[in-house]
Homo-oligomer: A and B are copies of this chain.
Amino acid sequence: MHIRPATRDDASAIWAIIGPTIRAGETYTIEPGIAEEAGIERWLGRDRETFVALDGDQVVGTYYLRPNQQGGGSHVANCGYMTLQAAGGRGIARLMCEHSMVAARRQGFRAMQFNFVVSTNERAVALWRSLGFDIVGRLPGAFRHPALGYVDAFVMFRNL
């Protein structure tokens, strides 16, 4: 597995990963019907660095790293990670998160925060916990899950 900064040439490979997850609407607060171009534009936004994880030549994961806030909050990083559905269960998200923490420390971030981890995304919650993140907040009914209705979301945080 190799992780490198994403380029515009990765756009279609990135959409192959993020498109199905966005369309499912179960884990990210992105409009499920967002146009492909707008979805890619957002994932590769100018406010962030975006990376891709490769297995050989195939892009199997992608994540972004950015300051979670500006001004007095800019020492806390924020990331989002997505894995190719066909490549699930192989530890790609874990590797990307570890990579992101190294990158964030190198850039001088002192902590990392996930603003909105859907509580029913139990694998993600368990993974972030195992990587040292604590649940520091619970947002009651803050996510409308397409199958489960209104469910809680967690704010997760760890120092770096």
Contact residues of A between 107 and 160, Cβ < 8 Å to B: 110-111, 113, 115-116, 118, 136-146, 150, 153, 155, 157, 159
Q: How many copies does the complex hold?
A: 2
Indicate whether A75 sits within 8 Å of B144 (C-beta atoms), given known contacts A136-B139, A137-B138, A155-B155: yes
Nearest B residue to A110, CB-CB = B141
Nearest B residue to A22, CB-CB = B71
How big is the A interface, by class? 35 or more
Residue from B29, B73, B113, B118 within 8 A of A70 (CB atoms): B29
A56 interface residue per 8 A CB criterion: no
A160 to chain B, nearest CB (A): 11
Contact residues of A between 53 and 81, Cβ < 8 Å to B: 69-76
Give every chain B residue within 8 A of A69 (Cβ-Cβ).
29, 116, 142
Residue from B71, B73, B142, B155 within 8 A of A111 (CB atoms): B142
Contact A72 B146 (CB under 8 A): yes
A29-B74, A110-B150, A137-B155 known; 8 new pairs, CB 8 Å cut-off, are: A31-B70, A31-B71, A31-B74, A69-B116, A73-B116, A75-B144, A136-B137, A139-B155
